[in-house]
Copies of this chain bind each other. A is one copy, B any other.
Amino acid sequence: MLNSGLTPAKSLSIEVAERICAERGARFTPLRRTALEVLLEFNGPVSAYDFLPALAQRLGRRLAPPTAYRALGFLLEQGFICRIETRNAFTLATHLEDRNAGVFFLCDHCGATVEVDADGITELLAGRAAALGFEVGRRIVELQGICADCRYTTAAVEGQSQVVRGRRA
């Protein structure tokens, strides 16, 4: 399983998020806290529209899309989660220290997603940017392909990770 053993180095928790927000003067409201709780429970990427009912259920009330997107937006701003562009999905960040530092490996077959540190790549891209006079904000690096499990296994194994709706191959 591509995800196994690769839990975040500095694991994000509600407590950690609370401390970080306090340090930054960011308001970790009940909605935002609950949103992070929901994401912590998802074992992998989740689409905004799968996240929405999960958040609503946990809060015990109906929610409309903007509320979900705002909560996700806050968590993105704080660097607690990352957006996977090629899946329209959101997942816990594995790197609280350096935002946009990750490289995503995304299995087209089983949907497994793993984020690894972008050492070296960051520097290389910074060099290219400098040559162009380009000031880099957000970096997106996503690699689609077939994960080790799917390469070495005859049949697709299910349940390897939460898979975004409709994206399972």
Contact = CB atoms under 8 A, between A and B. Distances in A.
Interface of A: 2, 85-86, 103, 105, 107-108, 114, 116, 120-121, 124-125, 128-129, 132-148, 151-152
Contacts of A152: 133
Given A124-B121, A125-B103, A125-B121, A144 B133 contact: no
A144 B134 CA distance: 9
A136 to B, nearest CB: 4
B129 A137 contact: no
Contact of A142 (B85, B143, B147, B151): B85
A135 B106 CA distance: 10
A112 to B, nearest CB: 10
A137 B108 contact: yes
A159 B109 CA distance: 42
Contacts of A86: 85, 140
A124 B136 CA distance: 19
A138 B128 contact: no
